Structure 1
Amino acid sequence: MASLDPLPRLTQASTALTRAIQIVDEFGEHRAIAIPAERPLTVFVDKRELVTLMTLGASPELLVLGYLLNQRLIETVQQVESVTVDWEVAAAAVRTRAGIADIAARTARRVVTTGCGQGTVFGDLLAQLGTLQLPDAGVARIRQSTLTALLDVMRQQDSIHRKAGSVHGCALFCGTRLLMFVEDVGRHNAIDTIAGWMAMHGIGGADKLFYTTGRLTSEMVMKAAQMGVPIIVSRNGVTAMGHELATQLGMTLFGRAANRHFLCYTGFERFDSEPEPPRGALRELAG
């Protein structure tokens, strides 16, 4: 049954994502370039300090909501009354409607992940597997032509990475339509921000595709599964634990994906292959 509580009130505290600095290049020239403006954001839940996130600060309120959801500290955003971000004190104050039960015990065990910017997961990832349900292959699948079109959209996407480097990007697609794109210093922050956006807009993940520039670790696979997204595309590769989790959950993972190249690691039953011509045949046609 849907909650009768309203959506949380959010500040709009986005801030400058890059900063100009002076450098000297290999030609001895002095010039200005842009670099990502990484900054700390300490999250307080009902006045209790929870965690400090290192972030660009593009959509900090959505990041905080997505973080709480993906950590399973809240089940719905309606449990939150407000998220107030104040960059003068580098803090996000979360006020819940009824508190978070056993928050001390639930956040006692911390796992430092492989995430860029060093992510943190509370509790045991594997213990959550039995609670996750994803659509079957008859409902959620992807054609090779859709995959290559998605990659072309991302190739043309204007980005901080293109201007300043040193960030990861994540995107949510419905088919080839880009719904949301966000960059942050860590891919885990970017996926949390998308999770917060989905929750605030009541968007489900069953018919969606998730794209990331970062590697597919167990953390990224688990968070996508918690968002209900069964298909993930990465410009990077996959770790052994990420592969194992995706296999257990019945997810489809694509890695090393750029231009028309990709590797499908798991979930072949969701993938409608449209094979490229053999390289020899391409050379013959060109001749």
Structure 2
Amino acid sequence: MTINKQPTFVKTAAEAPLTIAVTAINEQGEQVDKHIACERPLTVYLNWRPIVTLMTLGARPEALALGYLKNQGFISDANQLESVIVDWEVSSAAVITKETTEDLEAKLSEKTVTTGCGQGTVFGGFMDGIEDIQLPKPQLKQSMLYSLLNNISAYNETYKNAGAVHGCGLCEGDQIISFVEDVGRHNAVDTLAGEMWLKQESGDNKLFYTTGRLTSEMVIKVAKMGIPVLLSRSGATQMGLELAQKLGITMIARAKGRHFLVYHGSDNIEFDAPPPKRAQTN
């Protein structure tokens, strides 16, 4: 649901090629034509101050830069944006805002190395405001989750073509509203967060899907988006689960085919389509 008029500002649309054709030698000693995922650096600037260099696929770099800065607590008001300019010739994304950035140095000085793909970092403003997050109580059906997982199989195009990437999807019911792939799962979630933020969309009726594991950082980012359900084909960490419990996020992991594990929020799910139980062997 759109709750406000979208902000107006200067923005490029600098999508880069997602894969590149290469040759490889298979186990038979034969040459085969394949595609591999692209990976390129993108240095994010805020009011001409370099903040971070992200290694990215380059699918939607403007949204990635904005989502990263928003999730890290560097910016908060989309209506104060003046421009977002991505230039792949110099591998940069320059974000200009009218918001005050007087506390930027203090936030940059406080950082934590995370369990993100590769080596991730969060800064001092990342945890700001999570105590005030109030998420709605979702109502889900097991049959809807199965339908969503089936629909998601039509996505992951870069992964199917080249591998080596993660995918994230913004969903309503069993429909995928937006899907993005990147070399790191946090780039993908930041991209979707940036798009939601610009569109001023509410997360109340949405579900977030990721191919990556459910760590504390992933849970916090989804909570900041206002989304009450987090679904992954991968596993969860102890801190991720503790935060999901604290923030009221329904956490569903190891979701593939007709299998899933609800680590928190099972009372929000109607188990209306249980698959046949596997026969136990002695």
Scaled by the length of structure 2, the TM-score of the pair is: 0.93
Note the C-alpha offset of 1:128. Answer: 4.0
Question: Which residue type is aligned with residue 30 of structure 1?
Answer: Q
Matches within 5 A, 1:114-193: 114-123=115-124, 128-135=129-136, 137=137, 140-193=138-191
List runs of 5+ in structure 1 lacking aligned partners. 282-287
**Would the alpha carbon gap of residues 272 and 5 (structure 1) be closer, same or farther in structure 2, given more than 3 Å must change?**
closer
1:107 counterpart SS class: helix
Q: In structure 1, how many angstroms separate the alpha carbons of the residues matched to 2:175 and 2:12? A: 28
2:11 is the alignment partner of 1:13: no
**Would the alpha carbon gap of residues 189 and 165 (structure 1) be closer, same or farther in structure 2, given more than 3 Å must change?**
same
Q: In structure 1, how many angstroms separate the alpha carbons of the residues matched to 2:237 and 2:249? A: 14
Q: In structure 1, how many angstroms separate the alpha carbons of the residues matched to 2:165 and 2:214? A: 16
* Mapped contact 2:182–2:188 kept (Cα < 8 A): yes
Question: Which residue type is aligned with residue 65 of structure 2?
Answer: V
Counterpart of 1:41 in structure 2 is 42
- % same residue: 49
Counterpart of 2:235 in structure 1 is 237
**Would the alpha carbon gap of residues 159 and 5 (structure 1) be closer, same or farther in structure 2, given more than 3 Å must change?**
closer
TM-align CA RMSD: 1.9
Q: In structure 2, how many angstroms separate the alpha carbons of the residues matched to 1:129 and 1:35? A: 38
**Would the alpha carbon gap of residues 115 and 273 (structure 1) be closer, same or farther in structure 2, given more than 3 Å must change?**
same
Q: In structure 2, how many angstroms separate the alpha carbons of the residues matched to 1:98 and 1:6? A: 14
Question: Which residue type is aligned with residue 55 of structure 2?
Answer: M
List runs of 5+ in structure 2 lacking aligned partners. none
* Mapped contact 1:76–1:199 kept (Cα < 8 A): no
Question: Which residue type is aligned with residue 170 of structure 2?
Answer: L
**Would the alpha carbon gap of residues 262 and 52 (structure 1) be closer, same or farther in structure 2, given more than 3 Å must change?**
same
Counterpart of 1:284 in structure 2 is none
* Mapped contact 1:151–1:259 kept (Cα < 8 A): yes
1:75 counterpart SS class: coil
**Would the alpha carbon gap of residues 163 and 280 (structure 1) be closer, same or farther in structure 2, given more than 3 Å must change?**
closer
Number of residue pairs matched by the alignment: 277
**Would the alpha carbon gap of residues 9 and 127 (structure 1) be closer, same or farther in structure 2, given more than 3 Å must change?**
closer
2:264 is the alignment partner of 1:263: no
2:96 is the alignment partner of 1:107: no
Q: In structure 2, how many angstroms separate the alpha carbons of the residues matched to 1:96 and 1:153? A: 38
Scaled by the length of structure 1, the TM-score of the pair is: 0.91
* Mapped contact 1:118–1:186 kept (Cα < 8 A): no
* Mapped contact 2:11–2:83 kept (Cα < 8 A): yes
User: Bigger shift: 71-80 or 8-17?
Assistant: 71-80
Note the C-alpha offset of 1:158. Answer: 4.9
Q: In structure 2, how many angstroms separate the alpha carbons of the residues matched to 1:277 and 1:13? A: 45
* Mapped contact 1:3–1:78 kept (Cα < 8 A): no
Counterpart of 2:32 in structure 1 is 31
